[in-house]
Amino acid sequence: MTVYLNFRAGAVGGGVIDPYVLRGDGTVKPVALATVDWPLVGALVTGRNVVFGVHGFNVNYAAGADTLGQLDKYFAFGNTEVFVGVLWPGDSWIPVVDYPFEGNAAMKCGQLLAAFCARWFAQAQSLSFVSHSLGARLVLEAVERLERRVRVVCLTAGAVNRDCLVAEYADAAANANAISLLASHRDFVLKLAYPIGDPIADLLHDDHTPFQPALGYGGPTPPTPPVVHLPWQIPDGNDYGHLDYMPPSGAAQNPPTPPKWMQVADFMKRAVQGASQTWP
C-alpha cells in the first residue's frame, strides 16, 4: 500500500488545505485510499528514509494517486525506506490556462509540507524528494524551509527558472546534501509554453528572475552548486517530451516494451539511494 499526503480540497481544482495522510491503492478505479489516524502517522516513518514523490501541473486527484502509486510499486523500496506521494491541486476545471496561477498553490503546499515534516516526520531517518514539472517549485519551497538537512533532491523536467538554484532557491540548494536533475531539449512544453506562461507568473512573484528558460529544458545556470550531480541533460536522440518522465494515469499494465518513464524512475531511485548516477 502506498502512503500519500493530501493537500487537496477537491478531486479537481480547488484550494490548498492543511495536509493529512492517506494510505491504500491509488492505482485502482475508484482509488482505494483511507485516512490514517493522526496517532499512527509517526510510526509510518520512524527510523526510515522518507522519499516524497511530487507530481506536476494539470494532474487531478485520481490521476495523481494513480501515477504516484505506480511509481511507488516500481521503486519497490525495502523496509528502510518509505515512499510518500504528494497530492496537490496544481490543476483546474479549465486545464492549462491556469498555469501562471498554480505556482501559488505549489509554493503554499511546499510551505505546509515543511511545517508538516517538522511536526509529524521528525523521527524519520532522512528526507528526500523526487518531482516532475511544477512539482519542483513545491519541493524547493519545502526544502528551503525545513529545519533539517535534506538527503537528496531529484527534479525532473523542472518547470522553474533554470537559475533557481543560485537565485530564488539558493537557500534550498544549500540545505540539500545532493541534487540530481533531468532536462531535455525535446521537451516542447518547457521550450514553447513555459516562456509564455512564466512571465505572467513573474508578475505574481517578483522574487525570481524574469524571462529565464526552464530548468527542465536547458539544465541549471552555471556555475552550479557543488551538490548538483552530473549528468542532467538527456541526449536529444532519446526524444524525451514533458509527459515521458512519470507513469501515465491509466497506463496499460505490462506494456510490450519498457516505457520511457521507467528509465527516469531508475534515475530517481539511484539518486535517493546514493548510487553512482548514469543516464539511462
Tens-digit pLDDT profile for residues 41-75? 999 999 999 999 999 999 999 999 999 999 999 99
C-alpha cell of residue 163: 537559475
Kindly tell me the burial class for residue 106, based on how many C-beta atoms sit within 10 Å of its own C-beta (0-12, 13-18, 19 or more): buried
C-alpha cell of residue 98: 491556469
The total number of structural domains that make up the chain = 1
pTM: 0.92
| Inside any domain, residue 92 | yes
pLDDT (average), residues 102-125: 94
- pLDDT category of residue 216 using cuts at 50, 70 and 90: very high
Among the listed residues 24, 20, 104, the one whose alpha carbon sits nearest the alpha carbon of residue 66 = 24
Residue 174 neighbours by CB distance under 10 Å:
13
Among the listed residues 155, 173, 130, 154, the one whose alpha carbon sits nearest the alpha carbon of residue 215 = 155
Q: Quote the CA–CA distance of 217 and 221 in Å, as a whole number.
A: 11
| Inside any domain, residue 229 | yes
Torsion (CA) 259, 261, 263, 267 in degrees, nearest 10: -170
Angle at 79 between CA 83 and CA 278, to 5 degrees: 60
Asked if residue 202 lies in contact with residue 265, where contact means CB atoms within 8 angstroms, the answer is no
For 242, the domain range is 2-272
| Inside any domain, residue 161 | yes
What are the C-alpha distances in Å from 257 to residues 63, 66, 236, 238?
Answer: 22, 20, 20, 15
| Inside any domain, residue 279 | no
- pLDDT category of residue 96 using cuts at 50, 70 and 90: very low
Tens-digit pLDDT profile for residues 223-254? 999 999 999 999 999 999 999 999 999 865 66
Tens-digit pLDDT profile for residues 189-204? 898 877 654 444 443 4
What is the predicted pLDDT for the residue at 203? 39
Chain centroid to Cα 127, Å, comes to 13
| Inside any domain, residue 141 | yes
What is the predicted pLDDT for the residue at 250? 80
Phi, psi of 266 (to 5 degrees): -65, -40
pLDDT (average), residues 107-114: 97
Mean pLDDT, all residues of the chain: 90
- pLDDT category of residue 103 using cuts at 50, 70 and 90: confident
Chain centroid to Cα 169, Å, comes to 15
| Inside any domain, residue 280 | no
- CATH number of the domain within which 154 lies: 3.40.50
| Inside any domain, residue 278 | no
Q: Quote the CA–CA distance of 90 and 109 in Å, as a whole number.
A: 10
pLDDT (average), residues 102-121: 93
| Inside any domain, residue 227 | yes
Kindly tell me the burial class for residue 217, based on how many C-beta atoms sit within 10 Å of its own C-beta (0-12, 13-18, 19 or more): buried
What is the predicted pLDDT for the residue at 15? 92
The owner of cell 546534501 is 177
Asked if residue 24 lies in contact with residue 69, where contact means CB atoms within 8 angstroms, the answer is no
- pLDDT category of residue 255 using cuts at 50, 70 and 90: low
Looking at the predicted structure, is the pLDDT value of residue 210 above 70? no
Angle at 225 between CA 224 and CA 231, to 5 degrees: 60
